[in-house]
Structure 1
């Protein structure tokens, strides 16, 4: 099979590799769509923290936002999975530690992460082997494009739920990228009055085209009471800005990560009686995201600007926009295209 492999920072190859074999408890998936994520770009540049912590090594195959169809099952796997359309959880816990036994496998100390951590190869390939326990079935109404948006959607859904808006509550989302826009969509579906703040006018124009009329720069955010603020950005100063902007007794949610340390003043947190929530991983939100997509209460398809083949992944990771790309922030890959 063909697969995209990062060999060093800024270096990559599309290689012909042996097709994966389903081990005990595993399945092989024929990959239909993969989303390119900011994490993949950090691996491309060499900035990803896991590289420096020993959790990840080159060469590696990224890709953790995917959808496809099961084509083979290993020992111990129910053959009912054969032919089923699926997406998969990125976080693969050890299954035996205290956290896993409490259904917190996404923070297992010994976890693998598909395409990210622990040597588990990712989905930027024609085929992928993953544990059957990580699979989530996609209904017919959730196509391959939506299926590859379930993983980022799960992160966003959890962030929106953590904001806990009552109908009509005003919520500000910092960072109108893929996660921020997905958070905004889930908040809108919950009945919140959604505002967005971003740095680039182009991203704000796109947000407005999705029906989010209240899209501001940091300098133009109105002096309004925000019942919750969700930081979905990668700017190190915005976690503290979120705390400044939120109403007393409100909630701040942190789902974005900056490249360096970001700090908040806990005196402000305490004196404003604010609840702060951190969100890592889509795992607990995957099924609810699939249900939202299937019901049509959230439709993230406009976020996908272009779909490319494996041979075009390198330039995308280097920051190039594919020719003819739309205004959305997400690039998808069809591994079987071209080659």
Structure 2
């Protein structure tokens, strides 16, 4: 048997002894070194995740999609060279056969399964996880477990920065100072972009300042500068419209945050300002780039991790008990 966190109903989670995963044909089993707790995991725990109402996700559910570990078993058809390698993996598992998958857009496959989120695919808040070998990404030795478990959110953030399509020296405003907002700021800065962030209050901006961002503002203090692109990495329903109001004409908007209630904006402003708006779902196309940036040291995301705790502490974290420092991310070491 192996241990895994199981969500049994809204607000109910416990560590259970479960049958260990088996490496099916084309799949591997990974011993998990580190896993991150994401806002999606919290929504699955509280019952607020929309997938629960549509039936795409259902209890009992085993969450966890930000992770790294070591391959310990390989199924039929898998190159045995994967055994023993440190890896992370893509959350998004497409069917592999449809036109979207064949075009490299498996993250929007109509039959998409998401590890630890949807269609019953067990996640990595566990001692072991199984997944297709095609979803694996090898981790260099310079990417430690903390960085390895930040690859998935890093891939999302890097895709947002690519969506902003800025040249070095141009100015980016990031709305939100959670994990994705701070990661986007780090990746953009590494590319020579002038980065500013807007948070809710001075306390929320403290980590941004500690990371060396001098342009860290609240809405009240935000200067009237030309913002060549704006990334909305918040969960506030009013900020998508604010992003459109703030961005320069002919600039770019990137929407990666999701609010619980609908956001509205005036598309007349979008047209009359000749603004390009980009939506980002998933980190699939950004995972390799995130690994490369972590490996070469151009982005160090480890200060975002407030604490690393054991699997038995995960339910408390999901319920809002946050140990450690000021970082937005809590990591789980399932071996504890």
TM-score relative to the length of structure 1: 0.98
2:12 is aligned with 1:8: no
* Equivalent residue, structure 2, for 1:80: 81
2:201 pairs with 1:196: no
How far off its partner does 1:166 sit? 1.2
- Is the partner of 1:128 in helix, strand or coil? strand
Q: Which residue of 2 aligns with 1:45?
A: 46
Unaligned runs of 5+ in 1: none
Partner Cα separation in structure 1 for residue 30 and residue 279 of structure 2: 32
Partner of 1:94: 95
Distance 1:24 1:327 in 2: 43
Q: Which residue of 1 aligns with 2:304?
A: 303
Deviation, structure 1 residue 201 = 2.1
Query: More displaced, 114-123 or 257-266?
Result: 257-266
Asked if 1:64 is matched to 2:65, the reply is yes
* Equivalent-residue separation in structure 2 for 1:188 and 1:315 (angstroms): 34
Find out whether 1:18 has 2:15 as its counterpart: no
Structure 1 position 97, deviation (Å): 1.0
1:227-262 CA-to-partner distances (Å, cap 9, x unmatched) read: 000000000000010000000010000011001111
Q: 2:305 and 2:72 mapped to 1: Cα distance?
A: 27
How many residues of Structure 1 are paired with residues of Structure 2 in the alignment? 335
Q: Deviations over 1:108-161 (max 9, x none)?
A: 010110000110000011011111110000011111111100000000001011
Aligned to 1:313: 314
Following superposition, the deviation at residue 13 of structure 1 comes to 1.3
Alignment of 1:25-40 (within 5 A): 25-40=26-41
Distance 1:248 1:78 in 2: 51
Rounded Cα–Cα distance in structure 2 between residues aligned with 1:224 and 1:145: 36
Q: Secondary structure at the match of 1:201?
A: coil
Distance 1:231 1:112 in 2: 26
Matches within 5 A, 1:97-108: 97-108=98-109
Equivalent residue, structure 2, for 1:227: 228
Displaced runs of 4 or more, over 4 A:
none
Say whether residues 1:328 and 2:323 are aligned partners: no
Relative to the length of structure 2, the TM-score reads: 0.99
Q: What pairs up with 1:75-224 in 2 under 5 angstroms? A: 75-224=76-225
Describe the SS at the equivalent of 1:203.
coil
Give the CA deviation at 1:219: 1.7
Coordinate RMSD, CA, aligned: 0.7
* Cα deviation 1:201-244 (Å, max 9, x = unaligned): 22201110100111111122111110000000000000010000
Residues 177-219 of structure 1 deviation map (CA, whole Å, 9 limit, x = unaligned): 0000000001101111111001132220111010011111112
